[in-house]
Amino acid sequence: MASLTVRNLDETVKRELRKRAAESGVSMEQEARDRLAESVNASSRQPSTSADVKQVSIAPKKSADVKRPSAGIQDEGRPAGMMTLSGKRILLIIGGGIAAYKSLDLIRRLRERGASVRAVMTDAAQHFITPLSVGALTADHVFTELFDRQDEQDVGHIRLARDTDLIVVAPATADLMAKLANGLAGDLASAVLLATDRPVLLAPAMNPKMWAHPATRRNRATLEKDGIRFIGPNRGEMAERAEAGEGRMAEPLEIAAAVEALLDTGPKPLAGRRIIVTSGPTHEPIDPVRYIANRSSGKQGHAIAAALARLGADVRLVAGPVSIADPAGVNTTHVETARQMRDAVERLLPADAAVFVAAVADWRPDGEADEKIKKVAGKGPPALSMIENPDILASIGHHRQRPYLVVGFAAETQSLLENAAAKLKRKGADFIVANDVSAATGVMGGDRNRVSIVSKAGVDEWPELGKDEVAARLAALIAERLKTVEV
C-alpha cells in the first residue's frame, strides 16, 4: 500500500482520528497507520476458533473493579436532546441466531443515544459473530464464560446481572427463552438472567414454526407473567430460502425505542388518560388468497402510539397488517379489515382521545368469494363490484361516546389544505394532520413526513421532520389540549 488517504472516511471516524493524532503529535495518516497496525497485530493474536475465546478486551486492560467505560460517546454528533439514554448502563445478551449480526448495529444505536453497553455472548452466538467485533463496538470486555475465576477481568455473573439498568436479549432464541422460563442457569447468559433484579427486554428471533410451537408459546406466556418484556418478533422473510412469517428479530431502531420507553423517567402529563390510535393499512379480501391493500407501513401511527405512551398514556393501538413491531408499552390489537378496525375501536370506548392514523380502505369488494377465483380461458377478468367501508373517524367523531379530543389524518395528493379542512368538518375532528402523500414525497413507507395541523383555529405548518419527531410533537400537542380536561 503506497499511501493512505483518510479523505473518504466517515465524519465520526475522521473526528476521532484527528483528536487522537493531535494527542499523539502525529499526522492523521500516521495515526491511521498506527491504529491499523495495532488492530492487525491484535487480531492475529486472537485464538483461531471463537469457541476458545473467554473474554475479548478491546479497551486497555484494567483491574476487575475499574468503572465501566463512560457512557455516551457522541456517535454521529447526535444532538444533546436526542441523548435519551445518557448515563444508562445496558447489558446486551447476544444469543445464537442469524439475527446476531443486527445486534452489532443495536450496540451502535444504544451508544449513540448515550448508553454504555456491556455484552455477554452465548457459545452459539459466537458461531454467527465474533467477540472481537462486539468488543470493538461496546469498547468493553465481552463476557462469554460462566466460570472464569482466573481471569483478572472476571466480574462474576452476579455483578453482571446487577451492575446494569436494563438487560436486553437480542436475538432471544427459543433456547434462551426456554431456559429463562424454566429457571435454568447452566451458562453465563442464563445465569445472569436468573440472577438479575433489573428489567429484562427480549427481542425474539427464530423460524416462524419455532415461534408458533406450543412450547415457545407456553414459555412466552410464562415469561410475560414473570414481568419480562418483549419487542417483536416482526413478520417477514426469513434467512432460510422461501420461509416467511412471524419470527424476524425487531429492527435495531425498534429495539432502541423499546429500551428508551422502558428506561424513560421523563414527565408523564398523559398519565391516567386512555388514548386510542389506529395505524397501518387495512386488507379487504377478494377471495381466500387475494386482497385489496395500500402502501401504508404503519410507521407514523406506531410512532404516535409510542410517543403517547412515553408521556404516560394508556395507549390502545388498533393496527392493520404491518411488518413492524408492536410499540413497547402499548396495548396492541391486530386487525385486518376496516370493519374489524371499526369494531375494535368501538370496543375500546370510552377514551380521552383518539388518533386516526390508519390508511383505511375506502371500499371493499362486495362479498368475499369462498373459494379462490379461477382464471377461465377466454372468459376475461372478473368484474369486481365494490361497496363503501365504514368511515371510522367520522363515526367516532359523531359518536355519543365521542372522546374529548379526536384527531384525524388527511392523506392527500392534491389540494392538501382545502381537502383537510373539508375532512375536519365532515368527520367531526378537532385536528386534521394533513400530509402530502404523492409518490415524489416518499412519505408512504418512508421515515420522514411534512405535515400541517388544520383546526378551527387555522393552519399550523410544521417543517419536514422524522416520523418520530412528528409523533413527539403531536403527543405534546395532545397532552397540552387534555391538560385542562378533568380525568
Cell numbers describing residue 467: 416520523
Q: Does 393 bind ligand CTP (CB under 6 A)?
A: yes
Q: Does 202 bind ligand CTP (CB under 6 A)?
A: no
Cell numbers describing residue 133: 467485533
Residues 328-347 close enough to bind ligand CTP by CB under 6 A:
338
* Dihedral in degrees, nearest 10, Cα atoms 37, 104, 57, 86: 110
Degrees to nearest 5, angle at CA 432 with 429 and 436: 150
Would you say 159 or 426 has its CB closer to ligand CTP?
426
Residues 53-82 close enough to bind ligand CTP by CB under 6 A:
none
Nearest distance, CB of residue 226 and ligand CTP, angstroms: 37
Distance CA 235, CA 246 (A): 4
Q: Which residue has the cell 478486551?
A: 57
Nearest distance, CB of residue 412 and ligand CTP, angstroms: 6
Nearest distance, CB of residue 41 and ligand CTP, angstroms: 59
Work out which of 257, 392, 454, 475 binds ligand CTP, going by CB under 6 A. 392
Would you say 128 or 409 has its CB closer to ligand CTP?
409
Q: Does 423 bind ligand CTP (CB under 6 A)?
A: yes
Nearest distance, CB of residue 413 and ligand CTP, angstroms: 9
Work out which of 391, 443, 472, 482 binds ligand CTP, going by CB under 6 A. 391
Residues 442-461 close enough to bind ligand CTP by CB under 6 A:
none
Cell numbers describing residue 281: 393499512
Nearest distance, CB of residue 358 and ligand CTP, angstroms: 5
Catalytic residue among 219, 294, 389, 435: 294
Total binding residues toward ligand CTP, as defined by CB under 6 A: 16
Q: Does 416 bind ligand CTP (CB under 6 A)?
A: no
* Contact stretch for ligand CTP (CB under 6 A) within 90-98, 256-264, 283-291, 358-366: 358-366
Nearest distance, CB of residue 406 and ligand CTP, angstroms: 9
Q: Would residue 294 show up in a list of annotated catalytic residues for this protein?
A: yes
Cell numbers describing residue 458: 387555522
Would you say 189 or 437 has its CB closer to ligand CTP?
437
Degrees to nearest 5, angle at CA 470 with 465 and 472: 130
Q: Does 411 bind ligand CTP (CB under 6 A)?
A: yes
* Contact stretch for ligand CTP (CB under 6 A) within 59-67, 76-84, 96-104, 403-411: 403-411
Indicate the length of the chain as a whole number: 487
- Interacting residue ranges for ligand CTP, rule: CB under 6 A: 278, 338, 356-358, 360, 362, 389, 391-393, 408-411, 423
Known catalytic residues are 294
